[in-house]
Amino acid sequence: MTTLARSHSVHYREAQSNGRATNTSDSDATQNAVHTEARSSNGAWSEMVLVNGVLYDRGSYTGGRWWVMPDADRTAAEPTTIPGQVRCLQTEHGRLAAVGSPSGGHVVLSDDGNAPGASPGRWYLNTAEPVRLMRSVHTGPDRDGGPAHCGRTLAGVTIDASYSAYDVPVSVTAPTDAVPAPPGTQ
């Protein structure tokens, strides 16, 4: 996690599948900002920008118009920044053990999921310097507990996240045409 924590930026792709639908998101994250585009197999889409402490969101549910989201939504989105990813990855795993021996420039770690907020899975790391997390896969349900802001994986849901493009220049900017989200939006 040290390499991820020290990175200026990272691209990560996450796919969540429950056998009925698949949601895929692509994110470019920095230490204090993130831009995410997400699509669902049901046709829904969304785009989120967190920059300068403000969350902007648009999608099929907003008619494509950018909304400035309430503070509670901003707080829920903060785990998508690099420090947020690191905090959640550090706290929501059980005992990690190597699966086989390092080969092909990578090592696979098994996560027994025996910790609050964790679920069983695998972590894939490259073994070149610097060692980097390349992928994590886990299947819910998460155990009770753990930080609520890291989210919850439900029973039967698999999350497959891949990490790439470490320290590639990223520019995350606020949309210029955003309007306040309608009252009661959360």
Lowest mean per-residue pLDDT among 4-8, 11-15, 42-46, 152-156: 152-156
Whether 27 and 80 have beta carbons less than 8 Å apart is answered as yes
Q: Where are the beta strands (DSSP E) in 18-120?
A: 22-30, 34-40, 45-51, 54-59, 67-68, 96-98, 106-111
The 10s digit of each residue's pLDDT in 121-180 is 999 999 888 889 999 998 888 888 888 778 778 888 899 999 999 999 999 999 999 999
Q: Read off the tokens for 75.
A: 């707080």
Whether 19 and 155 have beta carbons less than 8 Å apart is answered as no
Provide the edge-to-edge strand list for the sheet that holds 22-30: 96-98, 106-111, 121-126, 133-139, 158-164, 9-17, 22-30, 34-40, 45-51, 54-59, 67-68, 179-180
What proportion of the chain, given as a percentage, has pLDDT over 90?
Answer: 59
Domains annotated for the chain, with CATH where assigned, are 2-169 (2.50.20.20)
